[in-house]
C-alpha cells in the first residue's frame, strides 16, 4: 500500500453526490477500504468528501419570506438565533382560566379584521356577526384608507389607514361581571373558546380559553423582531451549498492502475485534477480548505482570536467596522476555511459590513463572502 495522499476528482457540476456514492460503492466492492481514508461526517461514513458550506437566507424557495405574526399573549418556545425544524413549536398561548368567581353577563359574536399599517403597528376592526364582510377582504391583501369592510359600505367599519390585512377571524366579546359589580370584557377567538354562554356562573380556575400552539412551516434559523402590537418571527432558511462545484476529494494510497480503475465507467467522473491520464496528488493551499471542512484542521476565527487577546467583551456590542479597502485591492483572508488565501476584492457591501473576494481554486476563480474583519491588507 502506498502512502496516502490527497486527490481531487473532477466531475460534472451537479453530479458530485451521485459520483461520491458510486465511488464509495466501488471502494467497498473492490475491498480497497484499507487503502483509502475513511471519514465520519455528520453521522455518515464515507471515503470521499464533497465539502459544503451553510448559507443563511431569509427567503424560501418561492421567494417569499417565512414570517409569523406572534401576538404578545403567546410565549416564545424557541429562543432567537436557535435552529428549528419544520413542525417544531415556536410559540405557545397558555390556556386562560377564570381569575375569580364571575358571571358571564353577555356574549357578543363578532368578526375581527386586523390591518397592519406601514409602520407595522396594527388597527383592529370588530364587525357584528350579522354584517357581511366583503369578499376581497382577505389575509395578505393590501388595503387603502377609506375602504369599507362590509358589503353594505357601513361608514362605521371603514379602514382608517392603508396597510395589509394580517388576520381575519370570528371572535366573541365576553363580559364578566364580578361579585363587587365590576365588569371586565375579553375578546376570545371562537376556535379557542370553551363552553361559554350568557348567564353562566364561573368558579375561579374554570377554563375560558384553550391552549394554542404555532408550529414552524420551515426549517432554519429563528429571528425575532419586536413591535408595539406583536412579535414578527422569521425563519431564515439554511441552505447547504457545495463549496467546490464539480469536485470530489479523497485521501488514497491506491496504486496508479487502481486509481484509474476507480473512476473508469463512473458516470459523471471525468478525471483526476492535475493530469488526464496520471493521478497527481494535491498538497497545495487548496487542501487547507478541504481539511478544515473535514474537521482535520482547525478553522481560524477572528472572533476567537480577539477573545483570546482580551480585545472583545460580552458586555459590549461590537462597534461598526470602518474599513479602508477598495474594489480591486488584493487582500489576505484570515477567517474561515479560506484563511491564508489571497484574492482581489470584487464587491464591498458597507451596509451589511461584508465584501466579496475572488479566490483562485484549482485554476478557477471562486467568490468568497466575508465580513470586514475576515481580511487583512498585504
Q: Model confidence over 321-342: pLDDT tens digits?
A: 456 789 999 998 887 788 888 9
Structural domain boundaries in the chain: 5-51+251-293, 67-236, 302-377
Most confident of the ranges 50-54, 128-132, 294-298: 128-132
For residue 214, what pLDDT is reported?
Answer: 95
Query: How far is 60 from 81, CA to CA, in rounded Å?
Result: 18
For residue 318, what pLDDT is reported?
Answer: 40
335 DSSP assignment: S
Is the pLDDT reported for residue 3 higher than 70? Answer: yes
Residue 328's CB: how many other CB atoms inside 10 A? 8
| Secondary structure tally for the chain: helices H, strands E | 4, 26
For residue 119, what pLDDT is reported?
Answer: 86
Q: Model confidence over 103-114: pLDDT tens digits?
A: 999 999 999 999
115 DSSP assignment: E
- Reading phi first (left if > 0) and then psi (alpha if -120 to 50, else beta), residue 19 is in alpha
Whether 5-51+251-293 shares its CATH topology with 302-377 is answered: no
The correct CATH number of 5-51+251-293 out of 3.40.190.10, 3.30.70.940, 3.90.1300.10, 3.30.420.40 is 3.30.70.940
Mean pLDDT for 220-248 is 88
SS3 call for 146: coil
CATH topology of domain 302-377: SH3 type barrels. (2.30.30)
All cell numbers assigned to 210: 384553550
First to last CA, the chain: 43
User: Is pLDDT larger for residue 90 or for residue 283?
Assistant: 90
For residue 252, what pLDDT is reported?
Answer: 94
Mean pLDDT for 187-200 is 91
Q: Model confidence over 241-300: pLDDT tens digits?
A: 788 889 999 999 999 999 999 999 999 988 998 876 788 898 777 777 777 766 677 777
CA diameter of the chain: 95
Query: How far is 214 from 234, CA to CA, in rounded Å?
Result: 13
For residue 312, what pLDDT is reported?
Answer: 46
Is the pLDDT reported for residue 29 higher than 70? Answer: yes
Environment class of 309 (CB within 10 Å of its CB; exposed 0-12, middle 13-18, buried 19+)? exposed
pTM for the whole structure: 0.62
Q: Cβ(104)–Cβ(202) under 8 Å?
A: yes
Closest to 223 measured CA to CA, from 87, 121, 351, 79: 79
Query: How far is 111 from 126, CA to CA, in rounded Å?
Result: 6
Amino acid at each position: 500500500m502506498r502512502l496516502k495522499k490527497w486527490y481531487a476528482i473532477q466531475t460534472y457540476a451537479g453530479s458530485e453526490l451521485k459520483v461520491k456514492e458510486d465511488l464509495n460503492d466501488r471502494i467497498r466492492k473492490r475491498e480497497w477500504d484499507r487503502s483509502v481514508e475513511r471519514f465520519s461526517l455528520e453521522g455518515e461514513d464515507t471515503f470521499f468528501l464533497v465539502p459544503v458550506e451553510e448559507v443563511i437566507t431569509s427567503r424560501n424557495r418561492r421567494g417569499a419570506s417565512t414570517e409569523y405574526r406572534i401576538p404578545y399573549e403567546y410565549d416564545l418556545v424557541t429562543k432567537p438565533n436557535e435552529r428549528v425544524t419544520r413542525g417544531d413549536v415556536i410559540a405557545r398561548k397558555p390556556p386562560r382560566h377564570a381569575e375569580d368567581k364571575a358571571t358571564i353577563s353577555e356574549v357578543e359574536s363578532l368578526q375581527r379584521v386586523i390591518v397592519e399599517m406601514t409602520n407595522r403597528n396594527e388597527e383592529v376592526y370588530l364587525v357584528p356577526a350579522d354584517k357581511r364582510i366583503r369578499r376581497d377582504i382577505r389575509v395578505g391583501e393590501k388595503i387603502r384608507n377609506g375602504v369599507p369592510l362590509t358589503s353594505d359600505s357601513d361608514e362605521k367599519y371603514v379602514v382608517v389607514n392603508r396597510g395589509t390585512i394580517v388576520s381575519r377571524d370570528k371572535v366573541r366579546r365576553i363580559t364578566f361581571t364580578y361579585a363587587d359589580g365590576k365588569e371586565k370584557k375579553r375578546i376570545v377567538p371562537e376556535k379557542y373558546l370553551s363552553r361559554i354562554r350568557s348567564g353562566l356562573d364561573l368558579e375561579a380556575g374554570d377554563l375560558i380559553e384553550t391552549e394554542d400552539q404555532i408550529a414552524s412551516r420551515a426549517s432554519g434559523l429563528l429571528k425575532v423582531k419586536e413591535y408595539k402590537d406583536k412579535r414578527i418571527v422569521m425563519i431564515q432558511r439554511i441552505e447547504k451549498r457545495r463549496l467546490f462545484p464539480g469536485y470530489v476529494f479523497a485521501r488514497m494510497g491506491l496504486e496508479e492502475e487502481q486509481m484509474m480503475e476507480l473512476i473508469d465507467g463512473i458516470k459523471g467522473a471525468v478525471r483526476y485534477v492535475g493530469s488526464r491520464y496520471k493521478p497527481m496528488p494535491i498538497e497545495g493551499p487548496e487542501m487547507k480548505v478541504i481539511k478544515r471542512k473535514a474537521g482535520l484542521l482547525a478553522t481560524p476565527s477572528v472572533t476567537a482570536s480577539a477573545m483570546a487577546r482580551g480585545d472583545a467583551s460580552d458586555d459590549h456590542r461590537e462597534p461598526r467596522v470602518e474599513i479602508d479597502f477598495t474594489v480591486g485591492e488584493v487582500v489576505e483572508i484570515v477567517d474561515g476555511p479560506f484563511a491564508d488565501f489571497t484574492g482581489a476584492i470584487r464587491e464591498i457591501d458597507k451596509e451589511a459590513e461584508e465584501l466579496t473576494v475572488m479566490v483562485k481554486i484549482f485554476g478557477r476563480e471562486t467568490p468568497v463572502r466575508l465580513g470586514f474583519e475576515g481580511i487583512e491588507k498585504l
